[in-house]
Amino acid sequence: MQYIQTSNAPAAIGPYSQAIVSGGLVYTSGQIALMPDGTLVENDIKLQTRQVFENLRNVLEASGSSPDKVIKANIFLDNMYDFGIVNVLFAEFFGDHKPARSTVAVQTLPKNVLIEIDVVAISTNFH
């Protein structure tokens, strides 16, 4: 098992890792709309979703993976009315790749953000 930490994504805001690689798979922690320096992105679903995907891309790359190796994504939304916007940005991020996905509405997310996403992906650099 390998713990992943990259300065290209925000540091964990609690007692957890940005990701863990085990058995050839990457398990990311939920990413929220924090920039790598810890600054929160403004309260806009498009901007927050794009930042979450950027964070995920950077954590995946540090884990020997990439968006096209994602097997499963879990999306947590503050407001299910944002689903359509997030769906368009999800399609942009993954392109022709279509991982399995779950999307749920939740009452509150860390730092009162609008979205959080975690993924499971294949890693080629670690075992």
- Residue 78's φ and ψ, nearest 5 degrees, are -70, -30
pLDDT tens for each residue of 47-90: 999 999 999 999 999 999 999 999 999 999 999 999 999 999 99
pLDDT tens for each residue of 86-119: 999 999 999 999 999 999 999 999 999 999 999 9
CB-CB neighbours of 22 under 10 Å: 12
Higher pLDDT, 51 or 125: 51
Reported as a pLDDT band with limits 50, 70 and 90, residue 126 is: low
As beta bridge partners, residue 104 has: 76
**CB contact burial 36-70 (16+ within 10 A = b; e otherwise):** eeeeebeeebeebbbbbbbbbbbbbbbbbbbbebb
Domains and CATH numbers, the chain: 2-122 (3.30.1330.40)
State the DSSP code for 34: B
Kindly report the pTM of this predicted structure. Answer: 0.95
